[in-house]
Amino acid sequence: MLKYNKFIDSGETEVAKTIPYTFKNNQGKELSGKLEMPDGTPKAFVIFVHCFTGNKDFSANRRISRTLRDHDFAVLRFDFTGLGNSDGDFSETNFSSNLEDLRNAYNQIKEEYSAPQILIGHSLGGAAVLTMAPELKELKAVITIGAPSSTQHLTHLFEGHLDKIQDQGHSEVEIGGRPFTIKKQFIDDIMGHKVLEKVKKMRRPLLIFHSPEDETVEISNAKDIYTVAKHPKSFISLSGADHLLTKAEDTHYVANVIATWCDRYIEDEQVLTEEDPTSIDLKKTS
């Protein structure tokens, strides 16, 4: 069981609640989060990582987090630097700084409560949790939703702007109907990350959700991730869902599946290693 008693024996009646939660990034900027706490001792702590240019309060993020709370998981969702209610300048951020924000969130929850055992990432947030997972020793499970298999995938959002970014160092790009300044440093950074190489080293149970109708991140990305990942790994097709999971029934389905799937792993004290016979590359056994 999770060693956690921060709210136990307080003499107060415990109720499920959403708690405002802040922490600092590497530059001392305050990042804004919300911690969904169940009405008792959490089974495990979870961090939910939002999509590119998204934020913690997107409907899918909120619904999934609260449904998991109803299953007795404590879930932190937060805004990356320069997005949502977090301080900082988005144009100065990149995928590497997103990873640092995630690391800071993880360490803060670990220090105040207990090490998060589960990471969930949506879209580029999925690439972030896949990249970060190999270095987090206490991590028990990883879940991606509509995740790209490479950070270079993002360049399609900047088509028609790449030459200007290269020549002038920046360009204003409209993403999801909102303007964002994309700088050359951002492009240079995403070109340097190799997500699939991290997946090969992850050695954690992996659950992949992806819609075959996803028009933002093609389902072939899920195939790429699944192919290089070691077992245990699972893939679930979200037929009929869009990339942002705008339909409530899709988010509740995803959250309920995550809760059931994670129960199998959070009580297991074992962490898979390359030598472990249950960490299998099927291509090597055929």
Q: pLDDT tens, 248-280?
A: 999 999 999 999 999 999 875 544 544 444 444
Q: Is residue 7's pLDDT more than 80?
A: no
Give pLDDT tens digits for 176-187.
899 999 999 999
- Write down the pLDDT at residue 267: 75
Give pLDDT tens digits for 149-166.
999 999 999 988 999 999
Written as six digits, the tokens of 21 are 């939660």
Written as six digits, the tokens of 180 are 């964002």
Written as six digits, the tokens of 47 are 């961090």
Using an 8 Å Cβ cutoff, are 73 and 44 in contact?
yes
Instruction: Name the DSSP letter for residue 40.
Output: S
- Write down the pLDDT at residue 268: 58
Domain ranges for the chain: 17-150+194-285, 153-192
Query: Which is the CATH superfamily of the domain at 17-150+194-285?
Result: Alpha/Beta hydrolase fold, catalytic domain (3.40.50.1820)
φ, ψ at 49 (rounded to 5°) = -110, 125
- Write down the pLDDT at residue 204: 96
Rounded average pLDDT over 113-139: 98
Q: Is residue 173's pLDDT more than 60?
A: yes
- Write down the pLDDT at residue 236: 98
- Which candidate, 87, 4, 89, 106, places its Cα nearest to that of 49? 106
- Write down the pLDDT at residue 18: 96
Q: Is residue 74's pLDDT more than 90?
A: yes
- Write down the pLDDT at residue 159: 87
Please state the pTM of the whole predicted model: 0.90
Task: Find how far residue 216's CA is from the centre of its chain.
Answer: 17
- Write down the pLDDT at residue 3: 42
Written as six digits, the tokens of 174 are 């409209």
- Dist. CA 29–CA 224, nearest whole Å: 35
- Write down the pLDDT at residue 280: 42
Model confidence at 286, pLDDT cuts 50, 70, 90, reads: very low
- Write down the pLDDT at residue 284: 42
Q: Is residue 11's pLDDT more than 90?
A: no
Q: Is residue 6's pLDDT more than 50?
A: no
| Cβ within 8 Å of residue 1, ≥6 positions away | 41, 267
Give pLDDT tens digits for 205-254.
999 999 999 999 999 999 999 999 999 999 999 999 999 999 999 999 99
Give pLDDT tens digits for 75-115.
999 999 999 999 999 999 999 999 999 999 999 999 999 99
